[in-house]
Homo-oligomer: A and B are copies of this chain.
């Protein structure tokens, strides 16, 4: 029997769309790793009645565990611990030792901001040290303690794990929460699900639906697999979840997808295109440099995102103005004059210029019309040229018409460029 769980993300600023929630997805993955089936993520504002309603909903849905994030700060609109105590039928009591430990944490802050009001800090400090009686305290990583709160004696319902909102506090405190007796008692033995992800690039989602139908019509047993497909930044992801015993069904399914879609299939181990490019560049001992126009630095930004990227990224040029394309990436001004900045020739010249100026093994050039203005009938918004060139003369150049607005076009262009680098590193080339 597997315990089911819910997540409650609190905060009017999340509910109102001002900030986006990162904790729900992160906690979701952690629950899955532990074999805990997640049923709902509910986002509520900082209002007592709405938080109680969400807790009641999850209890009525039969969930055995609820994890909350947010609402543990020193200000009056931070209500979560108090609301959870009320829901569980537990009194709020001051923990003097905890108050002292929080005071220690606050000392360096006071040193850093000498003009802070001491009384305000002391009031916030005390508020954060008032916790539900009988709860297990999770030591603060920032200044806010978390709590694991089972229902009061004689009550039914989920155990509630109360965590702070900032991801860098929540994440280590989650690790502490799962070690508590109260957490173990609530979750017991759980089925550990496997999840595996296949990724494809360059085909529509409906083709995967067709593949699923044809595999089943052909007699393949997909029943042990919970398969979902989605389109994510231009790539198709096929996420499959299965219980122990479903491995063989999954292996057969993955092999069939790979065989049918060999030309667009690129990942079977969960790796992203970013991770594959990083690994291939390291394996081939290739350095890389970029010369970007419409993407304005986003390609270099994504290449330098992984730790240790300095081992293979030499650098890049953001050649936004035409004069910069010539001065910094060596593009012939006559070429820009003749073919326009968004052209095959300029994409190739940017790739070559990047390679030469930075002394890199591979150069990537990107030029396109990101919009919303600047499109013409001949060169509409979404037209992007990408070229990736290696020192041995290998080269891949692609023209695309990308859908969506400015942000989509820029983001998708970077993804296409990364796929071009991957294919180049795997030995593909357009030929002469």
Contact = CB atoms under 8 A, between A and B. Distances in A.
Interface in A164-209: 166, 168, 195, 197, 203-209
A313 B301 contact: no
Contact of A299 (B76, B297, B309): B297
A238 to B, nearest CB: 10
Interface in A115-171: 116-117, 120-121, 123-124, 166, 168
Contact of A328 (B28, B239, B315): B315
Nearest to A197: B18
A292 B18 CA distance: 29
B206 A120 contact: yes
Interface in A306-343: 307-310, 313-321, 323-324, 327-328
Contact of A15 (B28, B117, B310, B327): B28
A268 B278 CA distance: 42
A73 interface: yes
A195 B44 contact: no
A301 B304 contact: no
A44 B229 CA distance: 16
A379 to B, nearest CB: 15
Contact of A39 (B46, B50, B226): B50
A195 to B, nearest CB: 7
A86 interface: no
A40 B42 contact: yes
Contacts of A19: 230, 232, 237
Interface stretch (A87-95, A402-410, A423-431): A402-410
A77 interface: yes
A29 B41 contact: no
Interface in A241-285: 241
Given A39-B44, A300-B296, A328-B315, A75 B29 contact: no
A17 interface: yes
A17 B12 contact: no
Contact of A358 (B197, B231, B298, B328): B328
Given A20-B20, A209-B124, A315 B319 contact: yes
B120 A209 contact: yes
Interface in A7-43: 11-22, 24-29, 32, 38-43
Interface string A357-372: 1110000000000011
Q: How large is the interface on A (under 10, 10 to 19, 20 to 34, 35 or more residues)?
A: 35 or more
When all copies of this chain in the complex are counted, the total is 2
A421 to B, nearest CB: 15
Nearest to A232: B19
Contacts of A109: 204
Contacts of A228: 11-13, 46, 77
Contacts of A407: 305
A61 interface: yes
B318 A296 contact: no
Given A120-B210, A209-B124, A307-B373, A297 B324 contact: no
A318 B321 contact: no
A382 interface: no
Contact of A16 (B32, B75, B313): B32
B300 A310 contact: no
A303 B296 contact: yes
Contact of A28 (B17, B299, B305, B372): B17
B328 A317 contact: yes
A103 interface: no
18 contacts: A15-B38, A16-B25, A18-B232, A19-B237, A20-B22, A40-B43, A53-B61, A73-B205, A75-B208, A75-B209, A75-B229, A76-B212, A116-B206, A121-B206, A296-B303, A310-B374, A313-B320, A317-B328
Given A11-B230, A168-B405, 15 more contacts: A15-B41, A16-B25, A18-B197, A18-B230, A19-B237, A24-B43, A40-B42, A77-B228, A77-B229, A121-B206, A123-B213, A296-B300, A300-B300, A304-B320, A315-B321
